[in-house]
Amino acid sequence: MVKGLRIAAIGGALVMTALLVPGAVASAGPDESDDDSRTLTFHVEFSPLSYTDLGEPGFSYPDVIVFQDELFENGERVGHEIGSCVLVDSAGTANCTGVVTLDGRGTITFAFENAPPPEKVLAITGGTGDFRSAGGEGTLVEDVDQTGTLELSLDRP
């Protein structure tokens, strides 16, 4: 009985943690206006798209896209992001996961639905180093010139 209650309590805590931890990828400095989170904002230089056509010819399930992009803050390279997306339809909708690596600080993992609009909403799913147990949410906005902006709003541990 005690073991069952302990498992239920741990399960409840995990569910509450998942509900309270939305995710995003953003800038590298704390946002002084919010004591419970910090926002990181990066300029992104996208790598050329690496696309593998595994299904019907052209965009279709289960084609794969992989990416490796450079992250900058105030004109200086501060890290990179890598990841992959599996297409789920011919319109380009895909399930994507990735990792932001900030030089000397750690990693931030994320997931998002990639669809044709240039703005993507990301869920922060974890991290290492300075970002251990990270949660929160982020936004990736793609510009037409192979650059963009990544903003992560991290919940404080």
- Nearest CA-CA partner of 134 in 101, 150, 110: 110
For residues 105-129, give the mean pLDDT. 94
User: Cα separation of 107 and 105, whole Å?
Assistant: 7
Determine, yes or no, domain membership for 13: no
Let me know: does 41 contact 27? Beta carbons within 8 Å: yes
The CATH number given to whatever domain includes residue 31 is 2.40.480.10
37 vs 28, more confident: 37
Q: What is the pLDDT of residue 29?
A: 43
Determine, yes or no, domain membership for 3: no
- Tens digits of per-residue pLDDT, 53-93? 998 898 889 999 999 999 999 999 999 999 999 999 988 89
Is the pLDDT reported for residue 3 higher than 90? Answer: no
Determine, yes or no, domain membership for 8: no
User: Cα separation of 16 and 38, whole Å?
Assistant: 21
Q: Give the confidence band of 49 by pLDDT, cuts at 50, 70, 90.
A: confident
User: Cα separation of 152 and 105, whole Å?
Assistant: 15
Residues whose CB is less than 8 angstroms from the CB of residue 25 and which lie 6 or more positions away in sequence, other chains included: 40, 42, 81, 100, 108, 110, 122, 124, 138, 139, 140, 150, 151, 152
For residues 21-46, give the mean pLDDT. 61
User: Cα separation of 86 and 139, whole Å?
Assistant: 19
Determine, yes or no, domain membership for 14: no
- Tens digits of per-residue pLDDT, 122-136? 999 999 999 998 999
Let me know: does 15 contact 27? Beta carbons within 8 Å: no
Question: Which H or E element spans position 76?
Answer: strand 76-87
Q: Give the confidence band of 5 by pLDDT, cuts at 50, 70, 90.
A: very low
User: Cα separation of 96 and 58, whole Å?
Assistant: 18
Identity (one letter) of the amino acid at 88? V
Q: How many folded domains does the chain comprise? A: 1
Determine, yes or no, domain membership for 10: no
Structural domain boundaries, residue 135: 22-155
